[in-house]
Amino acid sequence: MDDAAATLLAVWEAARERTTSRLSSAQLRAVMVVEQHDGINLRRLATRLDMLLSSASRLCDRLVAAGMLEREPSRTDRREISLHLTPEARRLLAELRTDRRRGLAGVLRAMSPAGRQALLVGMREFDEMAREREEAAEPPRELPAPAARTVPAPAAPVDRRVDWRRGGPTTTRSA
């Protein structure tokens, strides 16, 4: 199973490298999430990408600079920013999918008809189960606010005296 998945991912990734070489894997994932959820806000994007909000914001800054994303004030809440794909990002995703289909088609043509049918049935079931698990999963919990810091009570004054009967200096704390 691991070998087959690795081979599938290698065919899949080769297409990404050919068509989206100027985007990192994280950037491509973000573009794909925005495609699925047009108008998503930054907080939801960060949650979907399992990133800190600040990291997702920097990622979006780079995607805006690359001409892949546009930001606009949300129609429902002016304090929020909605994210949308640019025509360039849509073109890039279409090119990526075409390239992936070509790579997979070459492998599928070499398979037997029975093997292709079994793969199709298995992949459909895999997709269904993965989607059900994703929908059933609880959303990530927000990190708790830092606990209030307690300031230690000031230390009792230190009395440094020399007690020659005990062989030298002593340190005592007075109450």
Q: State the maximum Cα–Cα separation within the chain, in Å, rounded to a whole number.
A: 99
Count of domains forming the chain? 1
Place of tokens 């925005």: 34
Spatial CA neighbour of 60 closest among 51, 118, 104: 51
Sign, Cα dihedral of 114, 119, 124, 129 = positive
Cβ atoms of 66 and 124 within 8 Å: the answer is no
102 domain-assigned: yes
User: According to the model, what pLDDT value does residue 13 have?
Assistant: 83
User: According to the model, what pLDDT value does residue 171 have?
Assistant: 52
- Strands 69-73 and 81-85 turn out to be antiparallel
27 domain-assigned: yes
- CA-angle at 168, arms to 163 and 171, nearest 5°: 65
Among left, alpha and beta (phi > 0; psi -120 to 50; other), residue 50 is left
User: According to the model, what pLDDT value does residue 169 have?
Assistant: 53
- Residues spanned by the domain of 98: 20-111
8 domain-assigned: no
Q: What is the pLDDT of residues 79-118, one digit of tens each?
A: 888 999 999 999 999 999 999 999 889 889 999 999 999 9
pTM score: 0.65
Paired tokens of 118? 């079994």
CATH of the domain at 54: 1.10.10.10
